[in-house]
Amino acid sequence: MKRFYGTDLPNPLMLGTAQYPSPAILEQAFRQSAAGVATVSLRREGAGGAGQTFWSMIRELGVLVLPNTAGCHTVKEAVTTAHMAREVFDTPWIKLELIGHTDSLQPDVFQLVEAARILTEDGFQVFPYTTDDLIVGERLLAAGCEVLMPWGAPIGSGRGLNNEYALRAMRAEFPDVPLVVDAGIGLPSHAAHAMELGFDAVLLNTAVARAGDPAAMAKAMALAVQAGQLAHQADPIEARDMAEASTPVIGKAFLS
Amino acid sequence: MKIVLNGESRDVRAETLSELLKECGFSGRVATAVNEDFVPSSLRIAHKLAEGDRIEVVAPMQGG
């Protein structure tokens, strides 16, 4: 498995921490899936100190923490959020989100490249949430990113891999870059599909957190990424249009 | 002095950012920004507040 800024992931599942019915269920989902990376965020702290309780729980999970810049719409906002995240979470990792469109939450790739450049120069290790555009991918790498995280489909949509062709092209174009399908996964089959294409990890949240049984779905996702990864390593056959008998014809009894 | 803390107007006695955090009961892991600029924790003691400053105090939260 490829290394992410010099770090080995324990497995190819990155799991979000939002939208679970309760903190206890969130914890079960992480235990059941053994996800090695948790995405987290920053929000205004209230008088009750809810953030501190959440942080204690995440630390007890013993996972790698990937803070995001969710909800940011400008370079300035994203860069400031990244600095605050680095101080609070004590990590140079940042999942860089720069939202360009309200309905699709499509990344604003122009601002994304600019923010990635600024943050990389400042010592951050940027995980950019991007589209499946190859040129944008090239620009992000030129800006200093060593990981790319293209969307499968819009965040929270659960539609799976909207453009398999583009994701295949991305894998072929950047064979040595750790690639993560981030967003759009709805089912374990989607996650397995991404891994079968040769992606290095899958990042998902809503599909697990909003399932009727999040812990069970988390486990299903973990098994799916494992199966997809193994299948990719096993060099799958090419699909063909016509049948090809699998049972040998030689030696068949003559009975008519 | 009147300031805006996490979007709410407040009248506070604090003169620096670190005094403000103490006065308003923040503890643990938080990060701060004043007027949309990040202020590292090491600079909070020296950071003097001014009338009308907009202060953001953020903490770890669930995210995807």
In this prediction, residues A88-117 reach a mean pLDDT of: 96
DSSP bridge partners of A5:
none
- Chain B residues inside the 8 Å CB shell of A52: 27-29, 59-60
Per-residue DSSP letters for A28-97? HHHHHH--SEEEEEEEE--TT-HHHHHHHHHHHHT-EEEEB-TT--SHHHHHHHHHHHHHHH--SEEEE-
Q: What is the ipTM of this complex?
A: 0.95
CA–CA min distance B32, chain A (Å): 7
| Stretch among A197-201, A219-223, A237-241 having the lowest mean pLDDT | A237-241
Count Cβ–Cβ pairs < 8 Å, chain A vs chain B: 106
pLDDT in tens, A8-48: 999 999 999 999 999 999 999 999 999 999 999 999 987 67
Tokens of B4: 């805006």
The whole-model pTM stands at 0.93
* pLDDT value, residue A47: 67
Cβ within 8 Å of residue A233, ≥6 positions away = none
Q: Any CB–CB contact under 8 A between A43 and chain B?
A: yes
| CA contacts within 13 A on the Cβ side of A141 | 16
- What's the rounded Cα separation, in Å, for the pair B11 and B5? 10
Q: Is A240 exposed, middle or buried (0-12, 13-18, 19+ CB in 10 A)?
A: exposed
Of the partner residues B7, B28, B32, the one whose CB lies closest to the CB of residue A49: B28
pLDDT tens digits, residue range B15-52?
Answer: 999 999 999 999 889 999 999 999 999 999 999 999 99
Q: Is A68 on the interface with B (CB under 8 A)?
A: yes
Determine the pLDDT at residue A49.
79
Q: Which residue has the tokens 């072929």?
A: A172
A249–chain B nearest CA distance, Å:
54
Specify the pLDDT at position A48: 73
A2 is catalytic: no
What lies within 8 Å, CB to CB, of A146 at 6+ separation is A4, A5, A125, A177, A178
pLDDT class for A65, splitting at 50, 70, 90? very high
